[in-house]
Structure 1
Amino acid sequence: MAAHVYSIAMPAPHSAPSLDAHTTREILDRLVSFDTTSRNPNRDLIDWIAAWLLQRGVEAEILPDAGGGKANLHAVIGPRGPGGLALSGHVDTVPVDGQAWSSDPFTLREANGRLHARGAVDMKGFVASALACVPDLLERRLHRPVHLFVTYDEEVNCAGATALVAHLDATGDKPDWCVVGEPSGMKPIVAHKGRLSLRVRVRGKAGHSSQPEFGANAIHAAARAVARVADEQDRLAREGVRVDGFDPPFSTTHVGTISGGAILNIIPESAEFDMEWRTVPGDDALAELTRLQDHVARHIEPALKAGGGSGFVYEILNELPPLSLPPGHALAQSVRHASGHNAEGRVSYGTEAGIYQNAGIATIVCGPGHIAQAHQPDEWIAVSELEACDVFLRRLVDSTVARA
């Protein structure tokens, strides 16, 4: 679907929270009130942000997905054209199902210097801080643009960031630098692992369990493949590429879910499992997948097919490239100065940053709060972290794209 520029003729939805929000805390209060769990549409929230920006004189492009229920938002403050600095955050969140919250997850609650709500730290807090600084940016003499990226589905497959990059490639309106505000304690993160997640389906042949020679047990075949994954994890820990700064400093793999069968006395004709690799820069997850497929084809599938099964099918669920900002890059220097952190970090979780890097945009991760506070009941972000982020963003803009 084509991009839509939010205009005065299209006001914010009637049910949306008030646009009268100025501080980071006030904006965060509005953002968390939208239930943007990844399974839900996010258009009401995106429309609210676009209307909030328009009220302050900034037009935003709304970039819907194929179904129209979800969308990215791209806004530019300052002169249009390529180059400049992007501030990027996703607004989808993980579910609250089954979690014991002390209060409504979608109502911001303050207690003991902490702000509690789903998405408060991951990562609507950074988005709120970026929006709160827009009026100040409009007063600055920007010689290069400041881009705002707001994306969908980061928690699922990063489809939003992938679509946004395609839009930037098509328009040529691409920044030179990008800060992804995932929670890092305001410490600059110059590298993170890549992630390849996979669903493996196994098709055997049903039969009575008393006559195994007349069937092909899909669970047994899947179990042999899972055992191979466990062996590969041991190999990576023992022999894998080491990159200092990661914890652990090598690539990892594991199986997270497995299912199959219908009843005990029937040979199961189907089974499936979900697995992943998290790779350090320099390792290739697709090469690891090929290793697994070759092993299965040589050592597991022949017996399965001899019993009447059809074999293994591999479905890639998500491919997230690693991030690795070159040592001494000017962006890292600017972020260190603006954040007040001399050290740089590396993390094992993935972000949208690798997607922007692969698109030719130098990217770093730096945002308020800590990843351990995310995805938990009573998720929270410290008020002091948001205040630090407010200062950081203004310092970064002043040192990179604003005239003295």
Structure 2
Amino acid sequence: MRPAIPSSRPDTVAILSTLVAFDTTSRLPNAPLIAWIEDYLRGLGVSYSLSRGAEDGKLNLHAILGPQTGGGLALSGHVDCVPVDGQAWSSDPFTLREEAGRLHGRGTADMKGFVSATLAAVPDILAMPLARPVHLFITFDEETNCAGARHLIADVATRGVMPDLCVVGEPSMMTPIVAHKGRLALRATFTGRAAHSSTPARGANALHAMGRAIAHIADEADRFAREGRRAEGFDPPHTTTQAGLAQGGMILNIVPEHAMLELEWRPVPGDDALAEFAKLRDTLQPLHDALHAHGPECGIAYDVTCDLPPLDLPPDSHLADIVRQVTGSNATGRVSYGTEAGIYQHAGLPTIVCGPGDIAQAHKPDEFITREQLARCDAFLNAMIRKLCVSP
């Protein structure tokens, strides 16, 4: 049953309670939550556009407040969240629970808190004399491959309503973040030929091939740490790579026919993860050829599962300057995790990360955001819109 739209103007915490109640774990559709937002916006007389991904029930929402044009400011947040499976929660993760000013629930910090603040601000925004529009970007699947943001920004560009500037409200304790690392994730599937382990020459050991690939990836990780481009402000201040998941083999007395490896690069701005992938393929080509000699179906196949570009907004940009003024921050930060901001910047939309909550709470059991952080976000949104979208 869909939660009711409050009859009076809700505050940020009331909306957060509603959004948390929707289980929008990335493996599930987000359509029920988006339908609630549609009802909410329609009740305020706000029109919107939806864009879809490849999976049924996965939707983005783009609303424009004020002039129905491009330009102005976009406020962007995702509504999918990570699973709670296997986590020890003190209460139902999909029921907002308050304790000592902390609001606990899955997605409160990452990042339904920011989305709730933007929705709560809509009535006030509509009452402002807007000379430039305020765009709401609400996306799916940020926690997996950021497909939602790619669909949304392509749709916005096609319709000719690209904003001038964008704030992605990932949890940063309301500190402006001008740069983050990218992420390229890859699945490599090794196919050999099975044989009895007493006669290994009659087979092709996919697990051995994968092991040699893992050893090379470990060497590359050491090389990045030792010789890689330095980008101070990141922790660590260089590109990283790792083999994060490996599977293979069935029983010990059979030469493994199949093996699977998942790996990633997290490049600092200026490094090219796709170029590193190309180098890896070249290095592993002899392993592919050795497997392929046992049959046309044998070898190494690659599948890119996530390609997230870095964010690199100049610290002296107009957007960074405005966000520093509004937040009262004297500095800007850099972080090693990725966000949708890199996708928007890559599409030509200057973007910064600034939102309520602590990234240290993201993905954890008993995830929380504080009332104080939400109040700061409410004030931030009001000030940003008045500075950038209201005529002097």
TM-score normalised to structure 1 length:
0.94
C-alpha distance after superposition, 1:148-186 (max 9, x if no partner): 000000011111100001101110011010000000010
Distance 2:329 2:379 in 1: 13
The alpha carbon displacement at 1:81 in A equals 1.0
Structure 2 partner of 1:171: 159
Distance 2:58 2:44 in 1: 24
Verify the 8 A CA contact 1:46 1:62 in the aligned structure 2.
no
Distance 2:229 2:127 in 1: 49
Q: How does 1:112-131 map to 2 (within 5 A)?
A: 112-131=100-119
Structure 2 partner of 1:43: 31
Structure 2 partner of 1:105: 93
| Residue type at the aligned position of 2:290 | A
The alpha carbon displacement at 1:342 in A equals 1.4
1:18 aligns with 2:4: yes
1:52 aligns with 2:27: no
| Residue type at the aligned position of 1:17 | P
Structure 2 partner of 1:275: 263
Structure 2 partner of 1:321: 309
Unaligned runs of 5+ in 1: 1-14
C-alpha distance after superposition, 1:118-164 (max 9, x if no partner): 00000000000111111111111110000000000001111110000
The alpha carbon displacement at 1:303 in A equals 3.3
Structure 1 partner of 2:380: 392
1:334 aligns with 2:337: no
Distance 1:384 1:148 in 2: 23
Q: How does 1:4-403 map to 2 (within 5 A)?
A: 15-20=1-6, 22-298=10-286, 300-307=287-294, 310-403=298-391
Count of residue pairs brought into register by the alignment: 389
Distance 1:366 1:340 in 2: 12
Q: Percent identity?
A: 58
Distance 1:186 1:213 in 2: 60
| Residue type at the aligned position of 1:324 | D
C-alpha distance after superposition, 1:215-269 (max 9, x if no partner): 1100000000011000000000000011111010000000111001111000001
Q: Helix, strand or coil for the counterpart of 2:162?
A: coil
The alpha carbon displacement at 1:307 in A equals 4.9
The alpha carbon displacement at 1:374 in A equals 0.6
The alpha carbon displacement at 1:301 in A equals 2.9
Q: Helix, strand or coil for the counterpart of 1:381?
A: strand
The alpha carbon displacement at 1:53 in A equals 1.3
Q: Helix, strand or coil for the counterpart of 1:186?
A: coil
Verify the 8 A CA contact 2:234 2:335 in the aligned structure 1.
yes
C-alpha distance after superposition, 1:56-79 (max 9, x if no partner): 121222223344411000101111
| Residue type at the aligned position of 1:231 | D
Verify the 8 A CA contact 1:216 1:305 in the aligned structure 2.
no
Structure 2 partner of 1:9: none
The alpha carbon displacement at 1:311 in A equals 1.1
| Residue type at the aligned position of 2:245 | T
Q: Helix, strand or coil for the counterpart of 2:46?
A: coil
Q: Helix, strand or coil for the counterpart of 1:332?
A: helix
Distance 2:155 2:236 in 1: 35
Verify the 8 A CA contact 2:315 2:321 in the aligned structure 1.
no
C-alpha distance after superposition, 1:267-314 (max 9, x if no partner): 00110010000000000001101111111113x234333455721111
